[in-house]
Structure 1
């Protein structure tokens, strides 16, 4: 099983120490053969320190302490070099003392979660689904704790980490609903992930499925209200999907009715403008891109599209003006190529060479840049 968040857990390994148990030493577990060269086994630092303080290290560093730390390192690092050996140890040890490993990992996870130690809670759940990848309950709770850890990173303003934990939760919730198509709570949480990603159609379908499967009254009321509030967003998504499919007139039928109530929603205005541009209604398209720049004066995509509209109308000076403004805000190869080609079409070869070659410096693999360079070579 793959994990998107493992790198954020590796620091937890600092909480472990390793001791070597010998092949023929006193420490033995029935049903498990220690490798001939011995085995480095983990122990939690807190257990080790407690043993030293109480001068009873031998009593504290026992098979259960080692088994717990083995679970912990498996949860921290799914690729740790001794994990296969640790699994053999855990299988023999749990059989000997009649320990349900899944129940134990679930118990330890809940214990840490209840005291607010969400990362430790997550480590035990990650160990559980590493060892039992299709355990439905483990996968579900792992996803929920990922969401809680994401909130902590959000408070710390670490958006990269937050997004990784949310994506991890999303992927495991998708797995949950694949394993059990009747798991209503899985659909409930999954719908929020799609909603937050702007996949409103998908979110609506998933939430409607959750309602069909049955939730408690409060959650049903919450979802029904959310579905009602996002109807216009669903219509927006349907519209822009039609536009990207080249069905611009149908897309506008979805989008234009939304404009009256959402006249300051720049994404909506952008898609309407794009539809008109694709239909070659350039003057109408320009109106919408200009509206966006009144609302968001530094919206680069609208500037670029406005520049393309001017270029399509052979107003190269205006096109250059828009592309130059966009390039000052964002030095992007595509913007620079647009600017370079506008200069080229305006007969200003030196400026065209400068901007297209600068685009190539930024990304020598970009197909648009390579095509512009070829066109430029025809004019040198």
Structure 2
């Protein structure tokens, strides 16, 4: 099983120490054969420290403390080199004593979650689904704890960490409904994931499925309220999908009515402008892009689109002005190529060469940049 968030857990391995148990040593577990070269087994540092303080280290390092630490390291690192051996150890332990690994991992996860140690809670759940990848409840609760950790990363202004944990939760929730298409709570949470990604049509469909499958009364009211408030966003998504499919007139039929109540929604204005540009109604397109700059003066994609509008009507001086403004905001190969080609079409070879070659320096593999370099070579 793949995990997107392991790098955020690896530091927890510092909380473990490793000791070697020998094949011919005193430590024995019925049903488990220690490898000939021995086995490095983990023990939590807190167990070692407690043993040292109480001068009972040997008593503290018992089978259960080793089993607990094995589960812990498996939850931290799914690729740890001894994981397969640790699984054999845990299986033998379950056969020998009254030890239920599933119940134990579930208990430990709840224990740590209740005291606010959410990362530790997740580690036990991650071990759970590593060992039992088809367990729906374990997978579901793992996803929910990932969502909780995403909130913590958001509070710490770590957007990368937040997004990684959200994507991890999304992936595992999708796995849950793949394994059980009647898991209503998974649909409920998935609706929020798709909504936050701007997939409004999919979000509405998923929430409607959750309602069909049955939720608690408070969740039903919440989902119904969400669906009721998102009609215009669904219409927006349907509209921009049509624009991207080259059906700009049909897209405008969806998008234009939304402008009445959402005239300051720059994304909507952008898509309307793009639709008009695709239809070669350049003056109309410019009006919408210019409206956006009144709301967001540094919206770089809009500035580029205005440059393209001017270039399409051979107003190269104005196009250059827009592209230069965009390039100052964001030094992007595509923007630099647009600027370079505008200079080239304006007969200014030196400036064209400078900007296109700069784009090539930034990304020599970019198809647009390579194409512009070929065009430039025709003039040199």
Identify the TM-score tier after normalising by the shorter chain.
Answer: over 0.9
1:335 matches 2:349: no
In structure 2, distance between residues paired with 1:199 and 1:159: 20
Aligned to 2:204: 204
In structure 2, distance between residues paired with 1:206 and 1:255: 23
Aligned to 1:257: 257
1:187 matches 2:187: yes
In structure 2, distance between residues paired with 1:108 and 1:94: 17
How many pairs does the alignment contain? 380
Gaps of 5+ in 1: none
Displacement of 1:111 in angstroms is 0.6
Displacement of 1:94 in angstroms is 1.3
Aligned to 1:36: 36
Aligned to 2:96: 96
Aligned to 1:13: 13
In structure 1, distance between residues paired with 2:250 and 2:353: 41
Question: What is the aligned-residue RMSD (CA, Å)?
Answer: 0.6
In structure 2, distance between residues paired with 1:319 and 1:286: 12
Secondary structure of the corresponding residue to residue 17 of structure 1: strand
In structure 2, distance between residues paired with 1:62 and 1:84: 20
Deviation readout 1:209-242 (Å, 9 max, x if unpaired):
0000000110000000011111111100000000
Matches within 5 A, 1:122-271: 122-271=122-271
1:284 matches 2:284: yes
Displacement of 1:55 in angstroms is 1.2
Secondary structure of the corresponding residue to residue 34 of structure 1: coil
In structure 2, distance between residues paired with 1:164 and 1:105: 24
In structure 1, distance between residues paired with 2:376 and 2:25: 77
Displacement of 1:350 in angstroms is 0.9
In structure 1, distance between residues paired with 2:373 and 2:39: 61
Displacement of 1:27 in angstroms is 0.6
In structure 1, distance between residues paired with 2:126 and 2:145: 10
Aligned to 2:65: 65
Moved over 4 A (4+): none
Displacement of 1:346 in angstroms is 0.7
Displacement of 1:155 in angstroms is 1.0
Displacement of 1:98 in angstroms is 2.7
In structure 2, distance between residues paired with 1:372 and 1:78: 46
In structure 2, distance between residues paired with 1:346 and 1:234: 43
Aligned to 1:370: 370
Displacement of 1:59 in angstroms is 1.4
1:45 matches 2:51: no
Gaps of 5+ in 2: none
In structure 1, distance between residues paired with 2:376 and 2:57: 76
Structure 1 length normalisation: TM-score?
0.99
Displacement of 1:52 in angstroms is 1.1
